Amino acid sequence: MSFERSAEQELVELSNRFFEYHCQKKTDEIMALFSQDGDIHFWGTGIDEEGTGIDDLRMQFERDFKEVETLRITPETTRVFATPLSGIVTGNWITRYLLKGQTEYDELNLRATLYADVVDGEWRFRHAHWSIAYGSQPEGRSFPEHDEMTITIE
């Protein structure tokens, strides 16, 4: 059991490094947190934000960082599910950002899933998924009606 607890701690520390490097816009440091063997996948919040390799991921982070002046990720909730050699980190994250050329900050409430496993003795991410909860869907229902399918960002 202590080995599994250690795996959970390793995953939390890996995630915390991701937050730190992302807020500092350090692409190379972020890339070092991901498996380099070519077997990765990610989804971002945009319809065109999906990639299946380390080069795709690098381009995505570089695009993100070109768009923002400052960026802050605050984990609201975090859950870790781990085995000795693999695990996932899930959570709700508040992402506060200032777009270049703007004077007001915006926020995104993100849902996140990060999958990692041990590669050459080190924990590395293999999959990352960030999404925005569909805010126009009424609570208590699983599917919106046609006239409710408009997203409004305040």
What is the CATH number for 83?
Answer: 3.10.450.50
pLDDT (tens digit, 9 = 90+) per residue, 92-123?
999 999 999 999 999 999 999 999 999 999 99
Decide if 144 is inside a domain: no
Question: Taking Cα atoms as reference points, which of 132, 142, 85 lies closest to residue 112?
Answer: 132
Domain range for 93: 2-135
Q: In what order do the strands lie in the sheet with 106-119?
A: 50-51, 41-43, 122-132, 106-119, 86-99, 68-82
Decide if 141 is inside a domain: no
Decide if 148 is inside a domain: no
pLDDT (tens digit, 9 = 90+) per residue, 51-80?
999 999 999 999 999 999 999 999 999 999
Decide if 154 is inside a domain: no
Domain count, the chain: 1
At 25, the pLDDT band (50, 70, 90 cuts) reads very high
Question: Taking Cα atoms as reference points, which of 153, 146, 59, 65 lies closest to residue 109?
Answer: 153
